[in-house]
Amino acid sequence: MTNAVTETPDRPKFVIVGAGVIGKQHGKVMTELGDRVELVAVADVDLSRAEALAAERGGRPYASLADALASEDIDVVTVCTPTGLHGVVAKEALAAGKHVIIEKPAEVTVEKTDEIIAAQREAGTLVSVISQHRFDPATDIAVAAIEAGELGRLTSGIASIDWWRGQTYYDSGDWRGTWELDGGGAMMNQGVHTVDLLIAAMGRPVEVFAYTGTLAHERVETEDVAVAVVKFESGALGVIHATTAAYPGLSARVQIHGDKGSVVIDNDELAYIHRAAYAADQRDVSYGANSETDNQKDSLDLPEKATAGAGRDPGQLSDAHRAQYLNILAALQGREKLRVDLETNRQAISVITGAYESARTGQPVKLT
What DSSP line would sit under 206-230, residue for residue? EEEEEEEE--S-SS-SS-SEEEEEE
Strand order from edge to edge, sheet including 60-62 = 60-62, 38-43, 13-17, 76-79, 99-102, 127-129
Over the stretch 267-291, which tens digit does the pLDDT of each residue have? Answer: 999 999 999 888 765 666 666 766 6
C-alpha to C-alpha distance for 163 and 251, rounded to whole angstroms = 7
CA nearest neighbour of 245 among 267, 228, 226: 226
Over the stretch 322-354, which tens digit does the pLDDT of each residue have? Answer: 999 999 999 999 999 999 999 999 999 999 999
Residues 319-350: b if buried by 16+ CB within 10 A, e if exposed: bbbbbbbebbbebbeeeeebbbbbebbbbbbb
Domain ranges of the chain: 13-129, 134-312+350-361
Is this prediction's pTM over 0.85?
A: yes
Q: Which CATH number fits domain 13-129: 3.40.50.720, 3.40.1180.10, 3.30.450.20, 2.30.30.30?
A: 3.40.50.720
Note the pLDDT of residue 299.
Answer: 78
Q: Which CATH number fits domain 134-312+350-361: 3.30.390.30, 3.30.360.10, 3.30.160.100, 3.30.465.10?
A: 3.30.360.10
Note the pLDDT of residue 287.
Answer: 67
Over the stretch 180-205, which tens digit does the pLDDT of each residue have? Answer: 999 999 999 999 999 999 999 999 99
Better pLDDT: 163 or 303: 163
Residue 66: other Cβ atoms inside 10 A: 12
* pLDDT tier for residue 312 given thresholds of 50, 70 and 90: very low
